[in-house]
Amino acid sequence: MTRVLALALAALTLLAAPAAAGDTFEMIKKRGELRCGVSNALPGLSQPGADGVWRGLEIDFSRAVAAAVLGDPAKVSFLPLETAGRFPALLAKQVDLLGRNTSWTIGREAQLKVSFAGPLLYTAQRFMVRTADGIRDAKGLDGASLCIVKGTTHAQDLEDFSAANGIRMTPLYCNSAEQARDVFLAGQCKALTADGVVLAGFLSSLGPGAAEYAVLRDANNYEIIAPVVRSDDAEWLLAVRSVLAALVHAEECGLTRDGAAKALADGGQSLGDGAARRTLGDADAIAKALGLAPGWMLRAVAASGNYGEMFESNLGSASPLRLDRGRNRLWSDGGLMYAPPF
């Protein structure tokens, strides 16, 4: 993040209407709806279908939160936000939860007074090029122009990457990921840089034309994509963090979407006496302290599946993106994904 951008975002914090500490739960329950800020048309993350139904990893997580908090995954509305508008919308209470593609940094927490609930996705900055240009690695971009979204962590990362590798790249700043993609496809820049998952989504949307493009293997600055809330409400932060932890724990103990739905229907009879029952017991033991009704973990998993199911259906083998889980595997499977115990 550049110094000018940091100061501008800090100024937005001061201008935003302050929220009373601890009021988010009451606002959501009174309204009967969770309001989530999401990405605008990013395949695999957040995208409305032809049927008007939103789909993606961000969407599934938001529905899991709604199920845990309000008892119904349908009680959620989605507000697509551009990069520059995401934090102002959260701070002005236009949304309760920022689920859109946002990198977790200490600087953002300190300057904007927001809190990140935990890792939803591990990704990295990558580069997309035209195969006809014969560029095989990032060093082949020396002297090239790159389309990049302003206001993202990638801007500063690009400067660091260029300096470390002794190459010059000229950024062409765009207002959104969609605009950056369109400018690149129009041939106005040599390469497009963004999160690897975003670039994979762009490729998947090109159909047969995807063969004309490639995402370089070079990865710069691995990042953590995380849900964001205002920092003035510790109770709400803990609730959102707990739902994320529940989805990871569900995968660890083998609780699937179908299994959770069946357990809800039969009062838990189908769970047996294994790890899933013990984990759900631990979750219910702290339900009151979290401000949630018993069965909140079952409802969250029944709504969207466990973390592994969410990844595979939106980004992995069952999706058009077909991304390898990599660092998003459970820690027990060589990845980085784990959650604090209940």
Question: What letter does residue 316 receive in the DSSP assignment?
Answer: S
303: pLDDT strictly greater than 80: yes
Sequence-separated (6 or more) residues with CB below 8 Å from residue 78: 36, 37, 38, 46, 54, 59, 62
Q: Are residues 106 and 233 in the same domain?
A: yes
In this predicted model, what pLDDT tens digit does every residue of 18-72 receive, in sequence order? 444 468 998 999 999 999 999 988 999 999 988 989 999 999 999 999 999 999 9
Mean pLDDT along residues 116-137: 94
Considering the domain architecture, whether residues 175 and 308 belong to the same structural domain is answered as no
In a domain, 337, yes or no: no
Q: Is residue 165 predicted with pLDDT exceeding 90? A: no
Ranges 1-15, 178-192, 219-233, 297-311: which has the least confidence: 1-15
Inside any domain, residue 91: yes
Same domain as 206, residue 159: yes
What confidence tier does 7 reach under pLDDT thresholds 50, 70, 90?
very low
Residue 327 included in any domain: no
Please report the DSSP string for 63-115 in residue order. Answer: HHHHHHHHS-TTSEEEEE--GGGHHHHHHTTS-SEE-SS-B--HHHHHHH-EE
250 plus 287 within the same structural domain: yes
pLDDT of residue 33: 98
Q: What confidence category does residue 273 fall into, taking pLDDT thresholds of 50, 70 and 90?
A: confident
Same domain for 289 and 185, yes or no, is no
Residues 179 and 314 in one domain: no
Asked if residue 87 is part of any domain, the answer here is yes
Residue 222 has pLDDT above 90, yes or no: no
Could you read off the pLDDT of 174-220 as tens digits, one per residue?
988 889 999 999 999 999 999 999 999 999 999 899 999 999 987 77
Report the domain count for the chain. 2
CATH at 17 = 3.40.190.10
262 with 273, same domain? yes
Q: What is the pTM of this model?
A: 0.89
Q: Which domain holds residue 184?
A: 124-223
Confidence of residue 17 (pLDDT cuts 50, 70, 90): very low
